[in-house]
Amino acid sequence: MKPTRFLFILIAVLLAACSSVVSDGDVTKVVITDGTSEKAFSLSDLEKMSVTESTFNEVTYVGVMLSMLLEEAGFSPADLSAVKASASDGYSVNYDPALFTREDVIVAYATVDGDLTEDDGTFRMVLPGEEGKLNLRFLVELKVIP
C-alpha cells in the first residue's frame, strides 16, 4: 500500500472514531456532583437562596453565587482544583479556582427583566468580563474536581 493511502486511511479511521456526545440531562435541575455523591437544585430551590446580580453582554442576570451553591451542596470551594460545568447538549467548560470563587460568578435563573430566554435554558453560567465560551448556557451539571 502506498504511504499516502495509508496516511489518509489512518486519518479517516481516527476521524471515524470521533462521535458527538449529547447528554440527556434534566434541564429543569442543576446537579452538583463529585462523581460519587450528588445534589440536585431546582429553580424553586435557587429562588429561595440569596440573590446575586451579574451583568454579561449588557444583560443583568439574577442568580446564586457559584461558590455559595457549591457550599450548599456540601463542597468547600477552597478544597477544589476545578469545577466543570456541563450543558444539556454535551458542551462543557472548566473553571479554575480564580473563577469559581469570584463573587460575581453566578448560576443564573432569570434576568432583572424577567425569565431567561429560550436560548439560555433554565439555568446558565454568568461570568462578567469573561469570554463567551465560559458563559455556558443550558447548564445541567456542575462537577467538582478536588
Partner 1 sequence: MKLKTRELVAVAVFGTLWGLVEISLGTVLKSFRIPLSGAVLAAIGLMVAMIGRTFVPRKGSTLFVGVIAMLLKLFSLGGVILGPMIAIFAEALVAEIVLSLFQKPHRRAFLLTGSLGVLWVLIHPFITNPLLFGRTAFVVWLDLLDSGSRLIGLDTNAAVAILLFLVALHLAIGAAAGWLAWDVGKQLQIRLGKSFSPTSPPISQKKEKTL
Q: Tell me which residues touch partner 1 (CB under 8 A).
A: 3-4, 7-8, 10-11, 14-15, 17-21, 81-82, 84, 90, 92-98, 131, 133, 145
Residue 41 or 102 with smaller CB distance to partner 1: 102
Please state the closest distance from residue 82 (CB atom) to partner 1, in A. Answer: 5
In 3-state terms, what secondary structure has residue 129?
Answer: coil
Please state the closest distance from residue 111 (CB atom) to partner 1, in A. Answer: 23
Q: Do residues 87 and 138 touch, judged by C-beta distance below 8 A?
A: yes
Secondary element (H or E) of residue 10: helix 3-16
Residue 8 or 117 with smaller CB distance to partner 1: 8
Residue 81 or 117 with smaller CB distance to partner 1: 81
Q: Cell numbers of 22, please? A: 449529547
Q: How far apart are CA 62 and CA 13, in angstroms?
A: 46
